[in-house]
Structure 1
């Protein structure tokens, strides 16, 4: 061990939650150290959100070029270049990673590359160098889950999402184990590029966090050659053949060229001193309150490591809340700076896209008993029809409790859904009622008008 540096705050991890905390704290004039073992930006920026969206954008452009005739645009000799798509992905990632580093440098936030270990409150070691601080923020992120099915260990044809982003060529046949966000986005990506894709999901529907109507519509609307086996349990992998027990109890096999293990991610809670430091860790992740405090004094945790919401934008907000309380806890408390878990939106960037926030119809019924709900097709939006046609998959569903008519959930399927859902988030944050939302003026023509149509369709 060598050297000792003292800081106001040490941030363990440079992913979305960590680097946004570093930015906010340094902007307030605090002396901050961000320790990142690999590259700034974490999973999201390097091997998650950004690279997948870069490749999906290429796949969507390719699909649009192939099927543009009905819009009066005919392209001949349409093809895609996987190598060029990968190069665009790399350029995008490098640009954004560089931007994060430049921002932290401009704010005089010190960044060190190395493995950080929590020694205890106010004490962190980075590759043998001991540092002290008034506060520590843990932002160690998450890792892919790789179940040990027979035939998966050491099998080069079974890869996780990180490996899928780096494949040298598009597989002709792709088997995807897991029908969550990661599995659905990769299935959509490669199906759009011509792969024959099979998705094997143990639950009765894909993306079980979604409202059931939206999940079913998304599954049916995904473009390309995609087959779903729902309610099915994988038992083994033989080379690139997946063996599973189908819903009816029969054993089935899917032959593929490559197998993507996409059963989710889990908080990274080991290997950095959590247990040794006495941190409270449950089976879900590091335990925090709504201000992101852990059980240790002046030790905070944000992002995936908490297990509360494994989404980059949730990590951003957690980092901001922890930072606000470190900077001035009295002011942060007065301003209501707490994590409101029920207003974290989700988004899936498949073809078609989907997004939502709040309670599903089933959850609202369980919590409130009597509810109000309405579902309308996005074909009621002039822009949606102009850009997609009336038969394209798209809908908006609104859920409210009957007693107060307060909006409790908004769920969307179709073009621009992820870009539009923030308005529904604001409605839930401010607890608008169906009647309040009816008074909001939506710009025309926009896909967002689907929300207006849905609230006016509510009866009761």
Structure 2
């Protein structure tokens, strides 16, 4: 069979791949996408989207228990775990179907199968029907990443779960151990803890949510502990003894001593590794560093016409970073002059309860980089909308360069901060200083007013604090 020729071939259809394909098609390129499993990738099928659906169910459940505070009556409150999971799967399915529709609408050819790169800008695809070869001058790798497995802590789907097992939980854990307190670990801890699991989180670093500003981590930890979570920092799970049908004995090292604790379920969330295997990368001379493809600021791999975007190209491992890189590469291929992505303007969002969101430098990082800084804070308890919502626990923190007024970083914990953070991201993209932020009129009553007050506070001008 003759090779099929395209202008661009995208390998992987997650938020990096499908977006790159659509943008390339919009720019007049003939595009093919190769996908081995599900359109929409991990994010839509097994990550960002279904986890948010689960967390929404636990949030509503939590609010129902607080009905009395709002002058409402709700009695005999319970949940149906299979129905919660079914709703989450339905949301994922709807969005994955939407991706298929968008690719079709943009006349992108979809080839379902497993891809391998060949010399001469060719891609071999193993499909259900056999093997076919595609050729294109430009190839975009968007194969994503998967959960890291530590020796002895591997998921078995029964007693020890990966995020995939947790998303389709077959039972409600009574006593749950979550290993790792990054976004994935803390979101699942939050979900199961809210539904009543006795939850312990083990983090090897000196604090939970270790990439966040230390003050925000400490605030979040206080809230989690208040909700009944047990948090062990500077701790490591050394070994799991599994007794099928009974549970797991975890050997946890804390302060140089190993102690054992019993759990019926363990969720391992110890990071991710890039999907770089069996793609033929080594043969082509692509540089790989700790399971990630090494690229320049424009996602070029060093092999002419071969780009890598999203999780496979390294941190930050975020869907929105992948999508943005996809657009940038598609525009580069079409002869345009896009700007490289600035990692400091990519926000991180964690959808636990309370939510956590941040962009730019933490206070410690800003000091480390030699900045003289001004820091502003504003607590949720000083905001009318937060109190009316019944969400008075939270904090907005802003960090400015004392010399220039540049907004170096913003960090938040509390209700809906994953939506609020966007205001500061736009500010950073527009290279705003404290002066413009102070002059901006924020609507009242909104949570966003706290963003204004936090800026004012950095300059000793806060009105309500």
In the TM superposition, 1:282-321 aligns within 5 A as 282-283=289-290, 285-321=292-328
Distance 1:121 1:141, change over 3 A: farther
Instruction: Tell me the TM-score normalized by structure 2.
Output: 0.94
Q: Is the 8 A contact 1:34 1:110 kept in 2?
A: yes
Helix, strand or coil at the partner of 2:237: strand
Match of 1:234 among 234, 237, 258: 237
Instruction: Tell me the TM-score normalized by structure 1.
Output: 0.95
Helix, strand or coil at the partner of 2:375: strand
Match of 1:135 among 138, 144, 160: 138
After superposition, the C-alpha distances for 1:282-304 in whole angstroms (9 at most, x for unaligned) are 22611112222110111111100
Match in the other structure for 1:430: 430
Distance 1:283 1:152, change over 3 A: closer
CA distance, structure 2, for counterparts of residue 356 and residue 140 of structure 1? 26
Shift of 1:44: 0.7
Match in the other structure for 2:367: 365
CA distance, structure 2, for counterparts of residue 379 and residue 3 of structure 1? 67
Shift of 1:144: 0.3
Match in the other structure for 1:202: 204
Over the aligned positions, Cα root-mean-square deviation in angstroms equals 1.5
Q: Indicate whether 1:399 and 2:399 are aligned.
A: yes
Shift of 1:121: 5.3
Match in the other structure for 1:338: 340
Helix, strand or coil at the partner of 1:383: helix
Question: What residue ranges of structure 2 are gaps of 5+ in the alignment?
Answer: 243-247, 461-465
CA distance, structure 2, for counterparts of residue 41 and residue 137 of structure 1? 16
Q: Is the 8 A contact 1:279 1:294 kept in 2?
A: yes
Q: Is the 8 A contact 1:376 1:395 kept in 2?
A: yes
Shift of 1:272: 1.1
After superposition, the C-alpha distances for 1:256-282 in whole angstroms (9 at most, x for unaligned) are 111111111121111211111211222
Q: Indicate whether 1:75 and 2:82 are aligned.
A: no
Helix, strand or coil at the partner of 1:289: coil
Q: Is the 8 A contact 2:85 2:169 kept in 1?
A: no
Q: Is the 8 A contact 1:45 1:96 kept in 2?
A: yes
Instruction: Give the total of aligned pairs.
Output: 450
Q: Is the 8 A contact 2:27 2:331 kept in 1?
A: no
Match in the other structure for 2:37: 38
Q: Is the 8 A contact 1:266 1:307 kept in 2?
A: no
Q: Is the 8 A contact 2:16 2:142 kept in 1?
A: yes
Shift of 1:308: 2.6
Match in the other structure for 1:252: 259
Shift of 1:459: 3.0
After superposition, the C-alpha distances for 1:58-79 in whole angstroms (9 at most, x for unaligned) are 0000000011211111201111
Shift of 1:433: 1.1
Shift of 1:254: 2.2
Q: Indicate whether 1:112 and 2:119 are aligned.
A: no
Q: Is the 8 A contact 1:194 1:224 kept in 2?
A: no
Q: Is the 8 A contact 1:152 1:236 kept in 2?
A: no
Q: Is the 8 A contact 2:149 2:155 kept in 1?
A: no
